[in-house]
Structure 1
Amino acid sequence: MGQSGYAGQPGHGGQPGHGAGPDSSPFGLPGQPPAKSRRKMWIILASVGGVLLLVVLGIVILVNVVGSATNQARGLADGFTKLVIAGETSKAYDEYLDPALQEQLSKEAFISGVESLEMDGSCKPAYNELTVDTENGIKAADIAGLITCDGKEVDLAYRFEGTDELKMTNIKLRPAA
């Protein structure tokens, strides 16, 4: 009769070979799927992480550059204004004014103009506008504000320009209206 139950017949526990393997399930269905490679996921995550790191680094550098230029401009304005208030106008003229501005404004005219404002130790500067810009490698800083003294106020507006060292290219010091 039939030979069912004998080894070697398909589907009856005989020899492996008809789709039956160590990872196979009964009835010829596949077992667990092979482990998926996560290599693509790690490549994508590493790429996204790298881009985020570059963005953060760029922002930090930008903030430091802008902050540094702003601090430099404020420092120049403070240094110049302190010398002028202290009556050291000749030193302020020599150290801060750009040679092109010195050609337009003589030292004598500068000194007499500052002395006419009659500033003294009671005078304190306050900067209400400070903008810094770089164009074609040339840094520029515009500073505007008010010097408040006992009984009077003096408007101030300075412009500093340069590539490495900033020098004053424009100045306005006059009694406030």
Structure 2
Amino acid sequence: MSNPQEPYQPGHADAGARPAAPPRQAPAQQPGQYAGQFGAPGQQPGQFNAPGQYPDPTPFGLPGQPPAKDRKKLWIILGIVGGVVLLAIVGIIVLFNVLGGATNQARGLADGFTKLVIAGDSSQAYDDYLDPALQEQLSKEDFIAGVESLEMDETCEPAYNDLKVSSENGNNAADIAGVITCDGRQVDLAYRFEGTDELKMTNIKLRPKA
């Protein structure tokens, strides 16, 4: 009869069995190496980017282009600057039109007034062109008498040598200076017109040229 098998005893291996393989140990790491790759693609293990250096840009950005947020800020700044420039241009155009209109109006008023006094229509010139404040200072009788003393006639021709216009708080002003040349003599003239929509003469000088 065969002997019954003895129970399994720990620590005893069968004579014909192969011994168990020893557990594998991780290879020793050299100084400066780290497990895994944390650097940019193409870098060797243990290598890191130097300070100030960054990996190549991703496919969502091109080299040399600012990020989307920076581009948005740039467009906002450019928009603000463009708006300021546009407003400045519009302001200059408006001012130019206002002053240009005032200049043309003042020249027309000065020419119309001067032609009336030369023709002897001093009463109409007084009523149509002088500001009420100037009329209070200069009566119509004194005005007519002063114009008649200049002895101007149809040979007289006005020339306006200086015309300056200004605008402040909606009030326009024009200063006009020149000379009226008659047959063998000259008369100096100086007018000032002021107003908002309609300019009126607020100051006048007519006297023989020295």
- The higher relative CO (CA closer than 8 Å, separation ≥ 6) is in 1
Residues of 2 paired with 1:151 and 1:85: CA distance? 15
CA deviation profile, 1:44-70 (whole Å, cap 9, x unmatched):
222221121112112212222222222
- The answer as to whether partners of 1:25 and 1:31 remain within 8 angstroms in 2 is no
CA RMSD, Structure 1 to Structure 2 (Å): 2.7
Answer with 1 or 2: which has the greater Rg: 2
Q: List gaps (5 residues or longer) in structure 2.
A: 1-23, 25-35, 50-54, 62-66
CA contact 2:176–2:191 (8 Å) conserved in 1: yes
Long gaps (5+) in structure 1: 2-16
**Secondary structure at the residue paired with 1:121?**
coil
1:92 is matched with which residue?
125
For residue 204 of structure 2, give the secondary structure of its aligned residue in structure 1. Answer: strand
Structure 2 CA distance for aligned equivalents of residues 54 and 123 of structure 1:
47
C-alpha distance in structure 1 between counterparts of 2:190 and 2:107, whole Å: 12
Q: TM-score, normalised by structure 2?
A: 0.64
TM-score by length of 1: 0.74
Matches within 5 A, 1:7-156: 25-27=41-43, 30-33=55-58, 34-35=60-61, 36-37=67-68, 38-135=71-168, 137-156=170-189
Stretches of 4+ aligned residues off by more than 6 angstroms: 17-20
AA of the residue aligned to 2:127: D
Counterparts in 2 of 1:41 and 1:67: CA distance versus 1, 3 Å: same
How many equivalent residue pairs? 159
| Residues 99 and 167 in structure 2, CA contact (< 8 A), matched pair in contact too | no
Structure 1 residues 51, 101: CA separation in 2 closer, same or farther (over 3 Å shift)?
closer
User: Whose helix proportion is higher, 1 or 2?
Assistant: 1
> Which amino acid is the alignment partner of residue 157 of structure 1?
A
For 1:171, the equivalent position in structure 2 comes to: 204
CA distance in 1, matches of 2:116, 2:123: 9
In 2, Cα distance between equivalents of 1:104 and 1:141: 20
Q: Does 162-171 or 141-150 show the bigger shift?
A: 162-171
The residue aligned with 1:6 is none
